[in-house]
Structure 1
Amino acid sequence: MATTTRHPSHRTSKQHFKVCFCFRRMFRLKVVEPPDEINTVFEEYSHDGIMSMDDMCNFLVEFQGENEAVTTHAQAIFDSLKHLNIFQRRGFHIDAFFRYLLSDLNGPLAEVHHDMNAPLAHYFLYTGHNSYLTGNQLSSASSTSAIIKALKKGVRVIELDLWPNSRGDDVLVHHGGYEFI
């Protein structure tokens, strides 16, 4: 899960990632504006550049596939963002929507409740070692498309070796040498 913060005197923003579910590292977010895909979804579910509570409920049901407590979830989203200067009284605009998508309120997976009291050896986990590589581990490049492909195949755990570069302005994927992702 990631959250984005902007420094008030700078035009850049930073993105916080939880690494290995127990550590937090901070990397700069190169993109200050939401990507085109996010803009397209926002335009589809908003009116006149503002997403209302009803629009958010439609987004949660139609796009996110949520069926339970949609109004309650939408209200929690609005409550979490209304103290920020990116929130409008009638709803929120693209920056608030983008911030919501990167927040803990928008988890990457739907919550599933199973009895998980058996020993770990009784479960099967489909994992992806070197998920970011496009080919063999000695000469292939790193790519987000390789991660997307693994996730679409059903991988539930991926490996990422992320390291800030020496200048601290980029993130490197390290495996046998440094490669940019």
Structure 2
Amino acid sequence: MMNMDMNEDHALWLFQMADRSASGTLEGEEFVLFYKALTQRDEVLGVFRAFSRDGKKLTLLEFVDFLQQEQLERENTQELAMELMARYEPSETARARHVLSVDGFLLYLRSPEGSIFNPAHGTLYQDMTQPLCHYFISSSHNTYLLEDQLRGQSSIE
């Protein structure tokens, strides 16, 4: 599911940083620390910090701003923000204060409600009962790439 390409030395370094007991294994909080370091996405944290005054939490109004500006939510955004906070914020204290932590923000973004994909586009509306040769199939996807899809070079030839 994560499908990450990572330098083994960097992964080992993250593991050793998380292994505070120096036991060579990760227990409880050490595993959580390792997982967070391994899956940290600077661009997502940048978005979080852009809407958060203190960089540690989103207040209800800050989360409403995010929903309106980034997620393009337009109706009942304050009520929606409160529902999402109640659903995705893991900290009881934060939920009671109507704030969203970084963890809650990440849980929301990974949820179907926070997905970048429009759920309306998930419904199949075409007739897919015909033989395959009756459909036009575009096969040009990534044919311009010479190397790796994310970091490699491309060509128009």
TM range (shorter): 0.5 to 0.7
The structure with the greater share of residues assigned to helix is 2
Measured after TM superposition, the shift of residue 87 of structure 1 is: 6.3
Structure number with higher relative contact order (C-alpha < 8 Å, ≥ 6 residues apart): 1
Gaps of 5+ in 2: 3-26
Question: 1:41 and 2:47 equivalent?
Answer: yes
Measured after TM superposition, the shift of residue 45 of structure 1 is: 1.0
Secondary structure, aligned partner of 1:96: helix
CA distance in 2, matches of 1:106, 1:74: 12
Q: TM-score, structure 2 length as denominator?
A: 0.54
Secondary structure, aligned partner of 2:107: helix
CA distance in 1, matches of 2:122, 2:43: 33
Measured after TM superposition, the shift of residue 31 of structure 1 is: 2.6
Contact 1:56 1:74 in 2 (8 A): yes
Equivalent of 2:38, from 28, 31, 34? 31
Measured after TM superposition, the shift of residue 58 of structure 1 is: 0.8
Matched with 1:176 is none
Larger radius of gyration: 2
Contact 1:50 1:90 in 2 (8 A): no
CA distance in 2, matches of 1:78, 1:105: 12
Gaps of 5+ in 1: 14-28, 150-181
Q: Aligned partner of 2:72: which letter? A: G
Q: TM-score, structure 1 length as denominator?
A: 0.48
Q: Give RMSD over aligned pairs.
A: 3.9
Q: How many percent identity over aligned positions?
A: 20
The structure with the greater share of residues assigned to strand is 1
